[in-house]
Structure 1
């Protein structure tokens, strides 16, 4: 009977040992599982932090590219271009509109929760996409505006040069024979030939340089034309002065000749203004006696004296008007004077 009792005790001990072993195994497994879980959670958190950090790095690069663009000289120059400076004003409007978009808010990775990290990582990736997209968009807008400006500038410059060439040709033709120095026209022709080769070119600077050279050459020709006009005017004034002096001298000489000519052709003759009439002889009327008549000498007759002017009265003892009281005496006296 003692044998079965020992067997029971032995089996009981084995069961207990198995149970204890099983519990130990379970405990160990649980510990291992917990350790594995904790390790996995830690690993996932670490991975989440790493992913968030990497996303933040990509965002930082995108931000730097965007900031470099909007702070660059090309962008600053483009936003100053007006609608009048481009052919199509839409490019200016588009650049202004895209530049007004606000940048996204900052998101950090300084959290210890895997879920929060994953959410922030997603937001960071979204922001990175915004910066990358807007960088490309604004860069394209800037290039479109600059291109539109350059295209209009080129066309305007070409048109300005074409007009300048037309004006220069007119000046070249019109100035023929009217310049003081014909070398100025030769220089203008040289610049005209050079400008003609550049009028359809694409280099704005060369076209503008050609226009500037034409301006200088045209100014030189105009100055030469003005110099010749001034010289011609001065020469004309000098010629007019000489002609006036010669005419004045000729007139003075003619007047002098007209004054002297009568003296040179004058023949001494009787000149009425210099003639002085001889005084009338003092006539004394004879007394009323027989007159003493004396015959005239046989000499050359003297020039007849002009009759004495009548005094209108009987001065002295002359004949009485009407011939009364004269008789033969009057006749004799008259005959004497007649001779």
Structure 2
């Protein structure tokens, strides 16, 4: 057997008692360790506080940047909306008369769109993250509202312009139909028809002017031709009347001349010769010429035997 195995408990030697006392040097280091640990704990707490503050400051800084960005976007959107309100297209649409559009309701919609209030600006003057976040949210909400107002305004302006074009096309089409056969140059109506098909307001305006000018030219030419025809008709009628009068005059001049010779019969005179003096027989004396005065009633007999009024011949 091995010697170790043959040993009994009684034969096992007792170990020497262990001295558990701390050396004096190690006892002096314990307060140092505790102090270091306390300092480390304090430093750790201080570091945690500083870290938290740094973290919180970072969060506030980020919130402020986000707020400022939102406010900047709001400013740009509001500026764009103001520019849209003063744009030439908007001004022209606002000046449009109800008679110039096909649908007058578009003008009412435009007035409502222009009447939207311009939003008030906001500032990122909050000191905490919560306040900054609230301001940023308000700015974002206002920006969306302004963009919606701008979109509505653009749509209203386009609606008015479209309605104006509809009215222009309708009027041009009416002019095209009404001027058939009434223009001096038919090409002007063909150009108008093409402009209507393209819905080109500028081309329509140009074509409408050309058609109107051509219509006026034809009207003038027709009027002048009518006046000339009337003058010629009047001149011809006057010439015919003059010729007819001349013919009648010539006819009256060439009629046979009739001579009128007054005829009358002398009044019969009766008388009874009276004789005086001697006898016609035997040696008596007497005149062979009877002595009488004929009564002629104002007529006399000339010695040659002709009658002459007013003379009385006595023998």
Same fold (TM over 0.5): yes
* Aligned residue pair count: 271
Could you say which residue in structure 2 is the equivalent of 1:324? Answer: none
Q: Provide Cα deviations, 1:137-186, integer angstroms capped at 9, x if missing partner.
A: 32223223322332233223222322222xxx2x57xxxxxxxxxxxxxx
Mapped contact 1:195–1:211 kept (Cα < 8 A): yes
Any idea what the Cα deviations from partners look like across 1:37-62, whole Å, max 9, x if unmatched? 23223222222221222212222222
For 1:38-187, list aligned pairs within 5 A: 38-81=53-96, 85-165=100-180, 169=181, 171=182, 187=184
CA distance change for structure 1 residues 255 and 36 in 2, over 3 Å: closer, same or farther? same
Change (3 A) 1:201 1:133: closer
* C-alpha distance 256-194 of structure 1, shift in aligned 2 (>3 A): same
Shift in alpha-carbon separation, 1:149–1:128, aligned structure 2, 3 A: same
CA contact 1:162–1:199 (8 Å) conserved in 2 = no
Give the aligned partner of residue 217 of structure 1. Answer: 214
Aligned to 1:262: 258
Listed one character per residue, the Cα deviations across residues 216-265 of structure 1 (whole Å, up to 9, x for unaligned) are: 3333333233223332333333334434444444444444444x8336xx
Q: Distance in 2 between matches of 1:104 and 1:189?
A: 57
The alpha carbon displacement at 1:195 in A equals: 4.8
1:287 aligns to 2:283 (yes or no) = no
Contact persistence 1:78–1:146 (CA under 8 A): yes
Q: Which residue of 1 aligns with 2:223?
A: 226
Deviation of residue 107 (structure 1)?
1.0
Secondary structure of residue in 2 paired with 1:285: coil
Instruction: Structure 1 unaligned segments of length 5 or more: list them.
Output: 173-186, 296-306, 312-339
Q: Are residues 122 and 242 of structure 1, via their aligned partners in 2, closer, same or farther at CA, if it must alter by over 3 Å?
A: closer
2:185 match: secondary structure: helix
Deviation for aligned residue 1:281: 11
Q: Which protein has greater RCO, CA pairs closer than 8 Å, 6+ apart? A: 1
> 5+ residue gaps in structure 2?
1-18, 281-285, 299-315
2:60 is the counterpart of 1:30: no
Instruction: Give secondary structure in 2 for the equivalent of 1:28.
Output: helix
- Tell me the TM-score normalized by structure 1: 0.64
d(CA) in 2 for partners of 1:309 and 1:125? 152
Report deviation, 1:118.
2.1
Question: Alignment RMSD, CA only?
Answer: 3.9
TM-score when scaled to structure 2? 0.68
Deviations 1:245-304 (A, max 9, x none): 44444444444444x8336xx9xxxx446x8969x8998732275245759xxxxxxxxx
What is the CA–CA distance in structure 2 between the aligned matches of 1:13 and 1:142, rounded to whole Å?
92
Which string of whole-angstrom CA distances, capped at 9 and with x for unpartnered residues, describes residues 14-35 of structure 1?
Answer: 3322222122112222332232
Q: CA deviation at 1:198?
A: 5.3
